Amino acid sequence: MLRRKSNILVMKFGGTSVETPDKIRHAAERVVHARRGGRRIVVVVSAPGRMTDDLISLAKQIVPQPDQRELDMLLATGEQVGIALLTMAIKAKNVDAISLTGPQAGIAADDRHTRAHITGIRPNKLLQELKKGRVVIVAGFQGLNPREDIATLGRGGSDLTAVALAAVLKAERCDIFTDVRGIYTADPSLVPEARLLSHISYDEMLELASAGAQVMQPRSIEIAKKFSVPIRVSHALNPKDLGSWITAQGQEKHSMEEAVVTGVALDRNQIKVTLRDIPDRPGMAAELFSALGQAHINVDMIIQSAAKGNINDISFTISKEDLGPSQKILASVQRELRAGSVETDARVAKISIVGVGMKKHSGVAGKMFKVLADHRINIQMIATSEIKISCIIASDQGKNALKLLHQAFGLHRASLNSSV
């Protein structure tokens, strides 16, 4: 889709980029610099530092499974701290600015508390403020649901706020400022030899993000792709960094030959659930997974063992924070399906390799499994898409597996990937 661009720039500062007064002043300096360059500026800010985590643990000290509406009410305050402080810092530099909450910025969300989707944006007030020449600073991660309650957009949701605003405002790009220099071939905090990618495609970034590379929230990439929003990810503290571009073509357009694997990712936020000894009959999987689906619980990998007699086991993975909300559902499905037991295992991790080059190369999965086997890493579950292969393994082997695959697919080298 061809977009007509405005002269609006959306700049998003993540939690680590506003965690101290000095960093807030630094972020303000970057905003002021961009504004003085003549563009209209919309800034999206996250909760400073680890405030969201702290608020969640505070709520859990009151009650282990907090009411979801009230939890959203609490979590949304973190981002309000961020916008107010950054706006003060910008105004102190003699640039007119105003902070807006998600609802004030016209962000409408659906009613899934703590994981709401954006359903639309009515940016009237935001545009009026821009017209007055002000920089507008919007709270990330929040919107107003159909009941006029505050809803939050899932962890990392400020990325979604920023990209959705960039889409609606037809911004020339969405700048994501964070604590790394861009998108790397692996999480640089786990694989020090990871390389910075100058370009990556929406499709690859979406797969990497849903495979656990938390640098971008997956839904923000879906929106960027749908509305062709170019994203640039760079370090908040290094204005000279070129960063990484997330666009439709990715590196295809920029390198002579295509890499087979572009990146690897580790997701340590998974939990494996197994329903044992279920009588094997048609409709049993439908019953289990529709019950979870109705409660908006995302199931990732699924494996059903071959039936012994007419009994079988079914295992699947969900994210750790979904375990609490799924417990009641699992207990009732267990009764209805007459399953023997429900077991959970948190000592698992998902390791994934991602690359558009996989479409044209065979043997990639074989190579991945061999690398794991050669190092006695047992694969518990496998899932594939056209450009991703994921395996569930023991969590204590996750970091090692990530490094081994990064090396085996030649991602540490500055030039091309090794062949399969």
Using rule CB under 6 A, residue 238 touches ligand ADP: no
Binding-residue pattern over the window 28 to 47 for ligand ASP, x denoting contact by CB under 6 A: ------------------xx
Are 85 and 70 contacting, i.e. CB atoms less than 8 angstroms apart? no
**3-class DSSP string for 285-330:** HHHHHHHHHHCCCCCCCEEECCCECCEEEEEEEEEHHHHHHHHHHH
How far apart are the C-alpha atoms of 195 and 323, rounded to whole Å? Answer: 35
Instruction: Find the shortest distance in angstroms from Cβ 195 to ligand ASP.
Output: 25
Nearer to ligand ADP, 24 or 292 (CB): 24
Degrees, nearest 5: CA angle 292-293-298: 85
187-226 positions binding ligand ADP, by CB under 6 A: 187-189, 208, 213-215
| Strand-pair partners of 99 | 137
Rounded least distance, CB 233 to ligand ASP, Å: 13
Amino acid code (one letter) for 249: Q
Q: Which does 409 bind (CB under 5 to 8 A by kind): ligand ADP, Mg ion, ligand ASP, none?
A: none
417 belongs to the binding site for ligand ASP (CB under 6 A)? no
Residue 114 touching ligand ASP (CB under 6 A):
no
Alpha helices in 43-120 (DSSP H): 51-62, 68-91
The whole-angstrom separation of Cα 400 and Cα 406 is 10
- Beta-carbon contacts of 39 under 8 Å, excluding residues fewer than 6 positions away, are 7, 8, 9, 172
- Considering CB distances under 5 to 8 angstroms, the limit depending on partner class, which of Mg ion, ligand ASP, ligand ADP, none binds residue 180? ligand ADP
Query: How distant is the alpha carbon of residue 2 from its chain centre?
Result: 26
User: What part of residues 339-368 is at the interface with ligand ADP (CB under 6 A)?
Assistant: none
Quote the CA–CA distance of 193 and 213 in Å, as a whole number.
16
Q: Does 263 bind ligand ADP (CB under 6 A)?
A: yes
Residue whose beta carbon is closest to ligand ADP: 14
Q: Which does 189 bind (CB under 5 to 8 A by kind): ligand ASP, Mg ion, ligand ADP, none?
A: ligand ADP
Strand order in the sheet with 381-385: 263-267, 348-354, 388-394, 381-385
170 and 229 in contact (C-beta within 8 Å)? no
Q: Which of residues 2-61 bind Mg ion (CB under 5 A)?
A: 14
Task: Kindly write out the interface string for residues 130-159 of this chain, putting x where it contacts ligand ADP by CB under 6 A and - elsewhere.
Answer: --------------------------x---
Q: In 3D, which of 254, 248, 167 has the Cα closest to residue 205?
A: 248
Q: How many other CB atoms are found less than 10 A from the CB of residue 142?
A: 27
Which of ligand ASP, ligand ADP, Mg ion, none does 52 bind, CB closer than 5 to 8 A by kind?
ligand ASP
Q: Which does 184 bind (CB under 5 to 8 A by kind): Mg ion, ligand ASP, ligand ADP, none?
A: ligand ADP
Q: Are 15 and 50 in contact (CB under 8 A)?
A: yes
Residues 125-164 touching ligand ASP, rule: CB under 6 A, are 140-141, 155-159
Residue of 8, 9, 10, 15 interacting with ligand ADP (CB under 6 A): 15
Residues 60 to 79 in contact with ligand ASP, rule: CB under 6 A: 78
220 binds ligand ASP (CB under 6 A): no
Residues forming the site for ligand ASP (CB under 6 A): 14-15, 46-47, 52, 78, 140-141, 155-159
